Amino acid sequence: MDYLLYPGCSLEGGGSHYLVSVEAVFKALGVKLTEIKDWNCCGASIHYVGGSELQTKALNARNLALAQQQGGQDIIAPCSSCYIQMIKTAHEFEEDPKLAAQLNQILAEAGLSYTGGVKVRHVLDVLFHDVGLERIRQAVKHPLTGLKVAAYYGCQTTRPYGEYDSVEAPRTMDQLLEALGAEVVPFDKGVKCCGSGIFFTEMETCARLVGDILGAAQAGGAQLISTACPMCQMNLEIYQSRVNKILHTEYDMPIVFITQLMALAFGCKYGKEAALDRNIVSPKSVLQAFAA
Amino acid sequence: MASKAYDKSFREEVYENVDSGEEIKLCMQCGVCGITCPLRDEMTYGPRQIWSLIRAGKREEVMNCSDIMLCTSCYACKVRCPRGVKVIDVMHGLARYALRQGIVPRKETSKFGKVFWDCIAKTGRIDETDVPMRYTMTAGPIHGIFNALEMMDIGRALLSHKRMKFKVAPGVPPAKKIKGIRGLKKMLKKAAAMSPGKES
Amino acid sequence: MAKKYACYLCKGCGIGEALDFDNLQEVASESGMGEAKAHEALCSPEGLALIKADVDGGANALLIGACSARVKTDEFTFGKEVLVERASLREQTVYCTEAGEEAAADRQMLAADYLRISATKLQKMELPVPFQLEQPAEKAILVVGGGVAGLNAALAAAKAGAKVYLVEKEDALGGFLGKMAKLGPQSPPYQELQDTGLEDLVGQVQGNGNIEVFIGNTVAKTEGAPGNFTVSLSGGQSLRAGAVIQATGWTPYPPEKLADELAYGSSPNIITNVQMEERAKAGDLGGLNAVAFIQCAGSRDANHLPYCSAVCCLVSLKQAMYVKQANPEAAVYVIYKDIRTPGQSEEVYRQAQREGVIFIRRGEEYPKISDHGGKFTVETADVTLNDTVAIEELDLVVLATGMKPNNPKVVEPPLVALGMDQEEAKRLTAEAKAQSDDWSVLNLAYRQGKNLPTLKYAYPDSHFICFPYETRRTGIYAAGTVRRPMRVTQAIEDATGAALKAIQATTAAAAGFAVHPRSGDESFPEFFMQRCTQCKRCTEECPFGAINEDEKANPLPNPTRCRRCGVCMGACPERIISFKNYSVDMIGAMIKSIEVPEEDEEKPRVIVLACENDALPAIDMAAKAGAKWSPFIRFLPLRCLGSVNLVWIADALSSGIDGILLFGCKRGDDYQCHFIKGSELANVRMSKISETLDRLVLESDRVRVEEIGFGEVDKIPGIIAEFMETIESVGPNPYKGF
Amino acid sequence: MGQAILVVGGGMSGVSAALEAAEAGYNVVLVEKNPYLGGRVAQLHQYFPKLCPPYCGLEINFKRIKNNPRIQVLTMAEVTGIEGAPGAYKVAVKQAPRYVNDKCTACGLCGQAVEATVSNPFNYGLDQIKAAYLPHEMAFPYRFVIDPSIAGGPEGEKAKAACPYGAVDLEDQGAELTVEAGAVIWAAGWTPYDASKVEYYNFGASPNLITNVQMERLAAKGGPTSGKIQRPGDGKEPKKVAFIQCAGSRDVNHLPFCSTICCLASLKQATYVRAQLPEAEVTIYFIDIRAMDRNEDFYTKVKADEKVKFVKSKIGLIQPNEAGNLVLEGENTASGERFKAEHDLVVLATGMQPNTALNKIPAEVAYDEYGFVQAAEGIIGAGTVRRPSEVHVSVQDGTAAALKAIQLVAGR
């Protein structure tokens, strides 16, 4: 098992604990990750303000071309925002020969080319379909028995093609959590947008969206929310104080990456490998019982 | 009495100049997008009605409508649209088109997005400290500092949890560029020239 | 045929435990059936072997007392030469009556009566001898109309080996297909306009040795019957044909009628979709920068054509594509009520949108069209914009007008006119005639009129969902847009199917059996003319116009036109019309064979004359489902309730039967009677019976008509119970015992 | 006379094709997958626009089959292979075991003896049926079936012991046979589109959210409620019924084509509700109402009922609430209003997927991208495998297919 890793800008910043835990988990599972050399930003959701659609596709085409140059293995893009930008370009490249030609014209400016065929995968996809629940169960050393988790996928994690899971009612993370021994609570906001794209700019609206999600998780009895997108993690977590101010609530809900929980269950170190000490709403009181 | 005549010039303008603008041709006015959008309550029209306005030639209503810049790219509408219309791409395209016309549907988003893109264009990546800092400063020095203080607690928290690099000011220390930045810049220039509406 | 009777009684399925078989054997014997053989399971290989041995020994008239005739049909069929009559001891005896000792006597009488009824029937019926035309039946098929349906019908029949005459009134084949520039997308990926393919089609027709084409001709007269039509053409030729396909197509709804609503006629640039097609074919689409199509121009409008013309949406999409393909810059609007692109043609809608056609939903009101120096403005509601809008600077406005069938409208006088006093009947008949069209396509030399009967909107179709091809004139099939609005692809299929129906009609005429719905039936009505009083009832009432009249009003039956329903038999006051295996005398005798207990026994007897297609299976179903009803009921299956002759009512009442129920199909606009008006006729006839009953000093309550079909299964026990109460309240038939 | 014509599918188009060919004098083998003929129409309560029961026409057709020695019917049978060319095919047919032979009198004793139940496919799983059962009250052939789940066990033995006629054959292995035919008519019909694939409708989340085919069974006398329209969740009479049009159809993510019949089916089902429940309100949520040709009259009739409302909106979300009702969300595209509407019974107008999209014909046959059969010589599509269509068009198509088959076998 050999994949290329596209960390994306967020995993180098606010989502650093995602990167640390992804690397720990894949190492534990014996999966090799090689970072795409000299990758560039995917453009994310806000690209359109400064760049055209084609420019954004060019950004992603460059990463695909680099990946192909490096061996063309499947790319893992842990950040859902990167994932969706990249998979969109990859898909449309295959479907639309005119676009493919245009992109190659553009890539030529940097002495690059792309012939198609590289697959873009999400962390959840690879864990569920390639590694498989069985191997994950085997790797669990400290089952998260009794831990009540709300599985929050976020909007972009399974969209827009539904390649590896349902776009409206995904189940992969639920099953992964269950494989870790955790209890997945009823939660109907699993793919509801958290508004991270307008985090800085439309605070009130964003607060309402975040509040809806936190409220539903709390109502379901969740001790924490598990996610697989750094945008969601950041938005749901660091925004809680704002939400509480605006909506007069008292949320104190830890937001952790599924890979952090997995690392913990695999017996990795709470801080160094699971990077749980990097969570601002501390999950310590909930998770320390499972720590190695 | 008809409130206004249908005018084909605007829709043709959209087809030609707006990224993914031709997508709206396929809309059959079913209404699913309008109800699917998580921000529907913040919108005056919603996608379907905007398409309808474009068809009718209602340029002012569309270009001056802040709906076109609210989209968070959640893809819920794209996933459900029975005609497969790339609603998000059109919305982004419209917002971008408005900006190019000097119309700013949403000031804050525009400012933030501009800083964001500039960072990519200059360095190839986003510096998650630099971008918000620069964005906050777009409010002007006094407001900027005030806003920055507002966000200070968050920044401090991120910093202390090893999720943010330390910066004293925007660009200090400067963000690292990718190695292939020169090639990337050329690519972006080329892509701009090939984009609808002949961008420069 | 010399009949050798044999009777078999089945003890299976609980019959054995419920009935006294010694008694039944006695009844069979008394009824002339000889010694009845009982078996534990008559349908088992052993039981069947028992019967087969007797058949081999010469038995040829078999009474089988077992389950309903609707089941185990294959098992209890012993070849065409052996008459079989089934007495329903299971469904109509054991299943539907209370079990146990207390009810045993009544149940036994019920079973015994069914044996008597069946024995009587067996004695009264003969093996049918198929009708043979004087000349050998003609197998050629006449196709009227050389449009897409006619051409395809002709070709389909010819390819199956039939000789075909194709008559077209114009001087060229093709009909509307010949006026079309292109067809809309018909095949995957449903995005490209297609050639009409007319040249190839006409070439195939003209090159087929089985097809003879008569262009510039109409049908002056159609005489005769299936297997033997003589058709005179306007050009003077006379043809003999076995069956006819009318594929005369459609006429555009007259646009002049839309002058008020849609300004038709006010400018040469407000045109219909037919005119648009002509312009496209002539290559005259230059200089169009803005065009609006207005859908439902006359269609879906109570003041014009209340129905949807089915093709106009796709025609406008196609024509919008013409405009777009001639000038991609042109602004093209389709102003619609609902876009109707069924099936795969949804992709055509998408394709038109891709090409830039703008769709505006207009609501119920017509748009307003105004002329501004040769450029038009269309003002319309724009529903999805929630506004009223104007579309200006239009070069051309196309009205998507609908289609009317090329078939004369026929309005029939109400059935109550039958047997009414002369003046009133004449008035109703004249009124109906005044509402009917006077022109004709086929000029049928039929006593009931020269045209195919129509229901709504002059469509001569059958009104049957399950049997769409049946017109009410046997051997004449409507195909294509004359039958209902349809697209070209559907008309091709329709024509192909109609060709098969026509081939079947000639086959049936040659072999002497009936077509749908009694397909294969070799019986036919025979007239004992010496006693005919020329009352015209049979010629008027036949739902299929099978009987002509001579100048003295003698009926002239045409057995190959006949569907074997027996309506004529029911109509005849002199009871001179009989089938070999179905007659007034036979049913009368069956009724009389029922044993009527003395009045003081307080065991009333009620007969149910039941339609064998709907009511009888419904009764079986109810019985199977466990419904119970009075053991005083005796069901008699009929081909159609329209065959009920009033004499049976008299027979029944005079033999002491207390009440008579008639179970027929649903009547009215959505009738289900497969003989069109049998149920309705029975109702009309019964409504006139109270007078007779009064004369006999009998309560009219004793006779009732009920609509019973598959939808009324659960109501059967209730209807029977309620009727039994009525009978109880009016008391026993005073004629009992006389 | 000539070679036989093989007809695959005993629904409306298949039965029509078989009968029309046989009545023109040709030998026909009719292969049907179910244990009975009649296909989907047998499961309908009424036809539009006449609101007449399908069994009226089926009864005539079955009678025609009974009276016609040229038709051989094989039920519980499927075609597994086709070899040869137009005019000379060898078709492999596999018949599943019925475990009941032709000695069965449909007396019902086996059904009484057996205790095991299975989900009733005829009622689309709305109820359970004994594992020894008559497929439905009008089944043709009129013969019981034993569910394979009990054939090898003690319940099967109970059925066998109960039958006085030796009709239960637990050793039944089914059969494999080869049919020689000059032409094959493929009339395999359709399957209701799987409603659960339209995830935002949450089919399965509430018993009061049903499909249009289930609604037919709810209204049918032989259905799970004996024809009483009630909420499957609690048996209560619904007061506010909604029909969701295009639940999968006209949707590039699901069935990109229009299923043609669903508008009329919902109009018809609205009449079921209104006829039974005078107080009930019906709302039909639609994109376009497609009541083609003379069916428009039926639309006009239903529209005249003021308790039937039409709202132009494709519903974007259906969610059950605590009251057991369903909340629909949509945008009324006529007013622009975004609404939430609560209904106590919701019917999804799911469309028709051609069975050839799910199971291909085991021979070289062309399809369009949706799986509909394209015109071909020798193997002739008929009915809803060619395009979505209403009953009378299927009959028409079946009849046309019969002639195309005859053209191939005539004179051979």
Nearest to C13 among D49, D105, D226 (CB): D105
Mean pLDDT in residue range A84-95: 96
State the best of D193, D333, D335, D339 to mutate against chain B, taking most chain B CBs within 10 Å. D333
Chain-chain contact of B29 with D333 (C-beta, under 8 angstroms): yes
The average pLDDT across B42-53 equals 94
Q: Closest to B55 (Cβ–Cβ): which among C339, C358, C388?
A: C358
Rounded Cα distance between A87 and A156, Å, is: 11
Average pLDDT, chain D: 96
Mean of pLDDT values over B60-70: 94
Percent of chain B clearing pLDDT 70 (strictly above): 91
Smallest Cα distance from A109 to chain B, Å: 5
DSSP string for B91-102: HHHHHHHHHHTT
Q: For B178-194, what is the mean pLDDT?
A: 96
Give contacts of D 163-202 with A, CB under 8 A. Answer: 199-200
Confidence grade of residue C99 (pLDDT, cut at 50, 70, 90): very high
Chain D CA closest to residue B36: D316
Touching status, chains C and A (3+ beta-carbon pairs under 8 Å): no
Taking contacts as CB-CB distances below 8 angstroms, the residues of chain B near A45 are 72-73
Q: How many Å lie between the alpha carbon of A105 and the closest alpha carbon of chain D?
A: 31
In this structure, are strands A32-35 and A2-5 parallel, antiparallel, or unpaired? parallel
Q: Which of D390, D395, D55 is nearest to D220 (CA)?
A: D55
- Residue C199: is it exposed, middle or buried by C-beta count within 10 angstroms (0-12/13-18/19+)? exposed
Which pLDDT score is estimated for D232? 96
C660 residue type, one letter: I
Which residues of chain A approach chain D closer than 8 Å at the C-beta?
166-169, 188
Q: Which among B28, B49, B84 is the nearest to D336, CB-wise?
A: B49
End-to-end CA distance of chain D: 8
User: For A158-173, how does the pLDDT look when each residue is reduced to its tens digit (9 = 90+)?
Assistant: 988 888 999 989 999 9
Render the burial of C419-435: b for 16+ CB within 10 Å, e for the rest. Answer: bbeeeebeebbeeeeee
Mean pLDDT within D20-38: 97
pLDDT level of residue A202 (50, 70, 90 thresholds) = confident
State the distance between the two ends of chain B, measured CA to CA, in whole angstroms. Answer: 43
CB atoms within 10 A of CB D271: 21
CB pairs under 8 A, 24+ apart, for A135-141? A135/A29, A136/A29, A136/A176, A136/A179, A136/A180, A136/A262, A137/A179, A139/A28, A139/A29, A139/A265, A139/A266, A140/A179, A140/A180, A140/A181, A140/A265, A140/A266, A141/A265, A141/A266, A141/A267, A141/A292
CB A151 within 8 A of CB A135: no
For every residue of D6-66, DSSP letters joined together read: EEE--SHHHHHHHHHHHHTT--EEEE-SSSSS-GGGGG-S-BTTTTB-HHHHHHHHHHHHH
Selection from C147, C137, C142 nearest residue C238 by Cα: C142
Provide mean pLDDT across the span C525-551.
Answer: 95
Closest residue in chain D to residue A188, using alpha carbons only? D319
* Half-sphere exposure (Cβ direction) of C128: Cα atoms closer than 13 Å: 21
**Average of pLDDT values for B149-167?**
78
pLDDT in tens, C113-171: 999 999 999 999 999 999 999 999 999 999 999 999 999 999 999 999 999 999 999 99
Distance between CA atoms of A267 and A261, rounded to whole angstroms? Answer: 10
ipTM of the complex: 0.95
Q: Which residues of D touch B82 (CB under 8 A)?
A: 246, 250-254, 314
Rounded CA-CA distance C585/C591 in Å is 10
Contact C344 D58 (CB under 8 A): no
**DSSP helix/strand/coil, C304:** coil
> Least CA distance to D198: which residue of chain B?
B80
Query: Nearest residue of A to residue B72 by CA position?
Result: A197
d(CA B55, CA B12): 9
Q: Do C387 and B8 touch (CB under 8 A)?
A: no
Name the percent of chain C lying above pLDDT 70. Answer: 100
**CB neighbourhood size of D291 (10 A):** 24
Closest CA to C687 of C455, C501, C415, C287: C415
Name, of A48-52, C612-616, D369-373, the range with top average pLDDT. Answer: D369-373
Span C309-330, average pLDDT: 97
Identify from B22, B188, B195 which residue to disrupt to test chain A contact, counting A C-beta atoms within 10 A and taking the largest count: B188
Cβ C389–B8 below 8 Å, yes or no? Answer: no
The answer to whether residues C716 and C618 touch, using CB atoms and an 8 Å cutoff, is yes
Give pLDDT, residue B198.
60
B 87-146: CB under 8 A from A: 89, 92-93, 95-96, 99, 106, 108-114, 116-121, 124-129, 132, 135
Q: How far is CA C54 from CA C126, C615, D195, in A?
A: 19, 34, 58
Residues recorded for chain D: 412
Residue-wise pLDDT for C345-369, tens only, equals: 999 999 999 999 999 999 999 999 9
| Closest residue to B48, CB basis, from D252, D317, D331 | D331
Is C466 close to D53, i.e. CB distance below 8 A? no
Q: What is the pLDDT of residue B143?
A: 66
Alpha carbons D51 and D302: distance in angstroms, whole number: 12
Does residue D186 or residue A162 have the better pLDDT? D186
| C217 φ/ψ angles, rounded to the nearest 5 degrees | -130, 145
Subunits with at least 3 CB pairs below 8 A relative to chain A?
A: B, D
Given a cut of 50, whether residue A221 has pLDDT beyond it is yes
Q: Which chains touch B (3 or more CB pairs under 8 A)?
A: A, C, D
In this prediction, residue C694 carries a pLDDT of 78
Asked if the C-beta of D298 comes within 8 angstroms of chain C's C-beta atoms, the answer is no
Min mean pLDDT across A72-86, A102-116, A198-212, D244-258 is at: A198-212
Could you tell me the two tokens for C155?
């070709």
**Which of B140-149, B153-162, C350-359, D358-367 is predicted with the least confidence, judged by mean pLDDT?**
B140-149
Chains in contact with D, where contact requires at least 3 CB pairs less than 8 Å apart: A, B, C
Q: Are strands C368-372 and C375-382 parallel, antiparallel or unpaired?
A: antiparallel
Which residues in chain C are contacts of B5 at CB distance < 8 A? 377, 389-392
Is it the case that residue D370 has pLDDT exceeding 80?
A: yes
Kindly report the length of chain A.
292
Cβ-based contacts of C40 with chain D (< 8 Å): 164
Whether pLDDT at D1 is above 50: no
Q: Does D touch A (3+ CB pairs < 8 Å)?
A: yes
CB contact under 8 Å between C504 and D23, yes or no, is yes
Q: Kindly state whether A2 is in contact with chain B, defined as any CB-CB distance less than 8 angstroms.
A: no
Which pLDDT tens digit goes with each residue over A103-122? 999 999 999 999 999 999 99
Tens of pLDDT, residue by residue over C289-299, are 999 999 999 99
Q: Does residue D37 contact residue D60 with C-beta atoms inside 8 Å?
A: no
Q: Rounded distance, CA C674 to CA C551, Å? A: 31
β-strand D28-31 against D5-8: which pairing, if any?
parallel
Model confidence band, residue D366 (pLDDT cutoffs 50, 70, 90) = very high
* % of residues, chain D, pLDDT over 70: 99
CB C259 within 8 A of CB C265: yes
Q: Is there a contact between C389 and B56 if contact means CB atoms under 8 Å apart?
A: yes
Interface contact flag, A48 B135, Cβ < 8 Å: no
Q: Which amino acid is at D60?
A: I
- Whether residue C379 lies within 8 A of chain B, CB to CB, comes out as yes
Of C308, C496, C672, the CB nearest to D293: C308
Q: How many CB atoms lie within 10 A of CB C286?
A: 8
Q: How far apart are CA A50 and CA B7, in angstroms?
A: 29
**CA-closest candidate to residue C456, choices D50, A222, D56:** D50
Which of B5, B27, B56 is nearest residue C385 as measured by Cβ atoms?
A: B56
Interface mutation vs chain A, best among B163, B178, B184, B186, most A CBs within 10 Å: B163
Q: Looking at the partner chain, which of C40, C343, C496 has a beta carbon nearest the beta carbon of D260?
A: C343
Q: In chain B, which residues have their Cβ closer than 8 Å to the Cβ of C356?
A: 15, 25
Global pTM?
0.95
The predicted structure's pLDDT at residue A181: 97
Question: Minimal CA–CA distance to A78: which of A231, A283, A244, A196?
Answer: A231
Residues in A closer than 8 angstroms to B33, CB to CB, are none
C242-269 pLDDT, tens digit each? 999 999 999 999 999 999 999 999 999 9
Residue of C nearest to B5 (CA): C390
Cβ-Cβ contacts under 8 Å for C91 (sequence gap 6 or more):
C67, C68, C619, C620, C623, C624
Average pLDDT rounded to a whole number, residues C430-442: 95
- A268 pLDDT band (50/70/90 cuts)? very high
Q: How many residues does chain B have?
A: 200
CA of D324: how far to CAs of D319, D344, D345, in Å? 10, 7, 9
* Mean pLDDT calculated for residue range A190-195: 92
Query: What stretch of H or E contains D100?
Result: none
In Å, how far is D124's CA from the nearest CA of chain B?
A: 27
Average pLDDT over chain C reads 95
C327 at interface of B, judged by CB pairs closer than 8 A: no
Q: Over 60: is that where the pLDDT of B1 sits? A: no
Q: What local confidence, expressed as pLDDT, does residue D2 receive? A: 58
Shortest alpha-carbon distance between residue A168 and chain D (Å): 6
Question: Cβ separation of C385 and B52 shorter than 8 Å?
Answer: yes
Q: Do residue C331 and residue B8 have CB atoms under 8 angstroms apart?
A: yes
Cβ contacts (< 8 Å) between B25 and chain C: which residues? Answer: 353-354, 356
Using the predicted structure, report yes or no on whether residue B2 has a pLDDT greater than 50.
no
- Give the model confidence (pLDDT) of D267-278 as tens digits: 999 999 999 999
**pLDDT range class, residue B145, cuts 50, 70, 90:** low
**What percent of chain C has a predicted confidence (pLDDT) above 90?**
90
